[in-house]
């Protein structure tokens, strides 16, 4: 007898997360909404993760396992998308957890809102400390253009792949870029272009672990520039599809360049000179475009001060960011 098609396919890329995987998987298997398949993509993990995935599949018929050669997060997500059978897709990172009713809530909001994508809020988790997002709380229904503005404005639930539920059809022509960091940012506008309605409920349902060894918050590496490439791509799409939103696209691109400097500030100050060219290039770009940056309505007062500092004294900006990080770490 042919197995019934699940409503939701939940895709979890798995690589070197032996210590975190069980909490992640159990938080999914214990969902109040149970009509899903859980696709665990073992991305060539060198630890026990592959065996753990197989054990979950033996214990729960909803679990499917893909073992593949290591190709990175995007490649693993793409493998899950290709294998998925559900009408809707969701993603969870293998070192995170989700609230028991996350997918029930997302699906209910999506169906009731007649939407193509549903989004929930999340907690930033530092160990056992959960910090809710500092954003306007509420339940919102957006057009595609409104959703682009909301998500790129920097005052939203974020561009993450993981706190969302998507109609599978949105991915018919979209895949995550293999070999890139910030892969979520690369595809979000591509996906939104294909929506008619997007529903947002800011109630936090996703527990996003902020780890010092994360690929997105570790030491500086040239691939950090992927965040700039992602928002250059998004700005091109905005110009083609939502020209009235040029300002929010520009806002996010300059934010991305500022992010590169913030990552350089994490390097030992004795080695900042190694990145003189990178710092100088971004500072020069900011100086050249400073008037339009300061006029951009999406930049807050503090952000405008930061760009002024980058333009006039970029090394001082690095020192200020490094000082702020030390103060935050000290509590």
Do the Cβ atoms of 254 and 306 come closer than 8 Å? no
Do the Cβ atoms of 6 and 88 come closer than 8 Å? no
Kindly state the tokens that stand for 310: 């980058």
Q: Do the strands 197-209 and 117-126 form a parallel or antiparallel pair, or are they unpaired?
A: parallel
> What CA–CA distance (Å, rounded) separates 22 from 14?
11
| Tens digit of pLDDT at every position of the chain (331 positions) | 457 899 999 999 999 999 999 999 999 999 999 999 999 999 999 999 999 999 999 999 999 999 999 999 999 999 999 999 999 999 999 999 999 999 999 999 999 999 999 999 998 888 778 888 888 899 999 999 999 999 999 877 889 999 999 999 999 999 999 999 999 999 999 999 999 999 999 999 999 888 655 444 445 788 999 999 999 999 999 999 999 999 999 999 999 999 999 999 998 899 899 999 999 999 999 999 999 999 999 999 999 999 999 999 999 999 999 888 777 666 5
CB atoms within 10 A of CB 126: 12
3-state secondary structure of 195: coil
199 DSSP β-pair partners: 118, 141
- For the chain, list the domains and their CATH numbers: 8-209 (3.90.550.10), 222-329 (no CATH)
Nearest to 106 by CA among 95, 93, 92, 96: 92
Which residue has tokens 């934010």?
255
Which residue has tokens 């070192």?
95
Could you give phi then psi for residue 146, rounded to 5 degrees?
-65, -35
> What CA–CA distance (Å, rounded) separates 190 from 224?
21
Which ranges of 2-48 does DSSP label H, i.e. alpha helix? 21-29
């Amino acid at each position: 007898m042919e197995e019934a098609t699940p409503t939701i396919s939940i895709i979890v890329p798995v690589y070197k997360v032996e210590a975190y995987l069980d909490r992640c998987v159990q938080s999914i298997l214990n969902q109040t909404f149970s009509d899903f398949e859980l696709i665990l993509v073992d991305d060539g993990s060198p630890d026990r993760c592959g065996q753990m995935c197989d054990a979950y599949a033996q214990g729960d018929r909803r679990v499917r396992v893909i073992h593949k050669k290591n190709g990175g997060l995007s490649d693993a997500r793409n493998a899950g998308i290709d294998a998925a059978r559900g009408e809707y897709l969701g993603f969870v990172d293998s070192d995170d957890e989700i609230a028991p009713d996350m997918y029930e809530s997302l699906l209910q909001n999506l169906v009731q809102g007649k939407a193509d994508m549903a989004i929930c809020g999340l907690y930033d988790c530092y160990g056992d400390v959960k910090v809710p997002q500092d954003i306007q709380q509420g339940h919102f229904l957006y057009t595609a253009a409104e959703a682009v503005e909301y998500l790129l404005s920097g005052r939203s639930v974020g561009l993450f792949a993981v706190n969302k539920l998507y109609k599978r059809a949105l991915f018919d022509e979209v895949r995550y870029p293999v070999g890139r960091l910030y892969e979520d940012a690369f595809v979000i506008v591509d996906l939104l272009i294909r929506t008619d309605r997007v529903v947002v409920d800011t109630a936090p349902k996703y527990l996003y672990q902020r780890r010092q060894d994360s690929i997105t918050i570790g030491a500086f590496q040239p691939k950090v520039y992927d965040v700039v490439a992602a928002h250059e791509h998004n700005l091109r799409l905005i110009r083609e599809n939502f020209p009235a939103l040029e300002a929010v696209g520009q806002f996010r691109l300059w934010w991305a360049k500022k992010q590169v400097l913030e990552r350089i500030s994490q390097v030992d100050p004795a080695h900042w000179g190694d990145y003189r060219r990178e710092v100088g290039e971004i500072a020069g770009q900011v100086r050249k475009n400073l008037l339009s940056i300061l006029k951009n309505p999406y930049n807050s007062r503090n952000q405008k001060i930061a760009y002024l500092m980058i333009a006039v004294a970029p090394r001082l900006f690095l020192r200020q960011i490094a000082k702020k990080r030390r103060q935050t770490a000290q509590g």
